Amino acid sequence: MSTFSNPTADELFQMELAKRNLPFAIINDGLYKIQIGDVTATINLENIRRNYKRDNDADAIARFAGQLETNAFNGIQNWEAVKSLVRFSIEPSDYESGFDNLLYEAVTEDLVKIFVFTSPDGSRISWITLSMLADWNVTRETVVSQANTNMNQLVADTLFEIEEIDGVKLGMLTTNETPFKASIILSEQFRELVSPTHGWPVYVVAPARDFVYVVPREHRDFLGRLGAVVLREYNESGYPVTRDVLEVGDEGVTAIGSFAPKSR
Predicted local distance difference test score (pLDDT) of residue 179 = 92
Q: How many angstroms separate the Cα of 229 from the Cα of each of 21, 178, 205, 226?
A: 43, 18, 10, 6
Average pLDDT, the chain: 89
Alpha helices in 137-252 (DSSP H): 140-156, 190-198, 227-236
CB 151 within 8 A of CB 87: yes
pLDDT at 119 over 60: yes
Task: Give the model's pLDDT for residue 1.
Answer: 45
Q: Has residue 228 got a pLDDT over 80?
A: yes
- Characterize the bridge pairing of strands 168-174 and 202-208: unpaired
In the 8-state DSSP scheme, what is residue 73?
T
124: confidence class by pLDDT, cuts 50, 70, 90: confident
Q: pLDDT above 70 covers what percent of the chain?
A: 92
According to the model, what pLDDT value does residue 223 have? 97
133-154 per-position pLDDT tens digit: 988 999 999 999 999 999 999 9
Amino acid 231: pLDDT: 95
Residue 4 has pLDDT above 50, yes or no: no
Cα four-point dihedral sign 70, 72, 74, 76: negative
Identify the band that residue 97 occupies on the pLDDT scale cut at 50, 70 and 90.
low
Beta carbons of 148 and 139 less than 8 angstroms apart: no
Give mean pLDDT, residues 151-162.
97
Q: What is the pTM of this model?
A: 0.78
pLDDT in tens, 72-96: 555 456 899 899 999 999 999 987 6
Q: Which of the two residues, 173 and 33, has the higher pLDDT score?
A: 173
* pLDDT for residue 38 is more than 90: no
Look at residue 157 and tell me whether its pLDDT is greater than 50.
yes
pLDDT at 264: 46
In this prediction, residues 53-70 reach a mean pLDDT of 82
Planar angle of CA 255, 260, 264, nearest 5 degrees: 80
Please choose, from the candidates 141, 146, 248, 142, the residue with its C-alpha nearest in 3D space to the C-alpha of residue 205: 248
DSSP label of 110: T
Q: Helix, strand or coil for residue 237?
A: coil
DSSP string, 11-56: HHHHHHHHHTT--EEEETTTEEEEEETTEEEEEE-HHHHHHHHHH-
Q: What Å distances lie between residue 35 and 42, 49, 75, 129, 135, CA to CA?
A: 9, 21, 13, 16, 15
As a whole number, mean pLDDT of residues 179-185 equals 97
Q: 2 pLDDT band (50/70/90 cuts)?
A: very low
